[in-house]
Amino acid sequence: MALVTLLQFAENLSDRQTADAVRSRIDWKYLLGLELTDAGFDFSILSEFRQRLVAGKAEERLLNQLLLCCQDHQWLKAGGKQRTDSTHVLARVRDMNRLECVGETMRFTLNSLATLLPNWLASHLQPEWAARYGPRTEEYRLPHTKPQRLAHAQQVGQDGCWLLERIEQDDRAAWLWQLPAIDILRRIWLQQFQVVDGQLNWRVENQGELPPSRSSSAPPTI
C-alpha cells in the first residue's frame, strides 16, 4: 500500500483512479509484483491505509526505509537536499479525493434530476455542465497544481450552490429537498465549503476547517 500511495502521488490520482490503475495497468502490476490476472482491491482500502498510517505515526518509518534504500543504490548524493516530509504526499492525495467527492456528488445530483425532472433540469442546466460533469471524475486527470485544484474546487462549489439556490427560489420545486441526491449535495457542500463574507470558499484542511473524516459523507456512486 505504501508503494501504491507513492505511485498515486506521482501520477496525481484519486483513490478510485489509483485502484483502477492497479487493476488495469501492466506497468503498475509489474512494479508492484502482481500477476496480470490480479483483481486489485476496493479503492476505500487506500483511505483506511492512510488513516492507520497517520494514527500509528508510521509514515516516518516508511520514509526512512525508502531513504535507506535510495542511499544503498546511490540514488541520493551526499550533501544534497531532498524533501523528506511525507506530509505533502498525504495532503495531495487527500486533495484529489476531496475534488473527486464534490465532482461525483454534482454529477450524481444532475443525473438524478435528469431522471426525475428532465424538464425542470433542462430549464436550469448550464451549457458547460455537460462537459464538466458528463464523464465520471476518474475518467480524466484532475488538476495537478494547487492553484488549479483550488480553482476547480471553487467552480464545482459555485455550480452546486447555484443549483441549490434555484431549488430554493422555485416554490414548485420545494419537494426536491426531500430527494436523497439533493440532501447528499447539501450535506457534502456544508462539509467541503464555507461562506466567508458572502463568498463561497473551499475549506482549508490544515487550518482545521474540515470536519473529522469519520463524520464526512462519502460521494455517491453511479
Decide if 32 contacts 19 (C-beta within 8 A): no
77 domain-assigned: no
Amino acid 214: pLDDT: 47
Amino acid 10: pLDDT: 81
116 and 188 housed in the same domain: yes
Amino acid 144: pLDDT: 75
Decide if 180 contacts 122 (C-beta within 8 A): no
Closest CA to 193 of 163, 156, 220: 156
96 and 194 housed in the same domain: yes
79 domain-assigned: no
Q: How many domains does the chain have?
A: 2
Amino acid 6: pLDDT: 81
How far is it, in rounded angstroms, from Cα 7 to Cα 2? 9
CA angle 150, 133, 126 (to 5 degrees): 95
Kindly report the pTM of this predicted structure: 0.65
Amino acid 70: pLDDT: 74
Q: In which domain, by residue range, is 55 found? A: 2-72
104 and 210 housed in the same domain: yes
105 and 191 housed in the same domain: yes
How far is it, in rounded angstroms, from Cα 194 to Cα 197? 10
Q: What is the mean pLDDT of each run of 10 residues along the chain (222 residues)?
A: 84 86 92 91 86 72 72 68 57 78 92 92 92 74 81 94 94 90 94 90 74 53 50
Decide if 4 contacts 40 (C-beta within 8 A): no
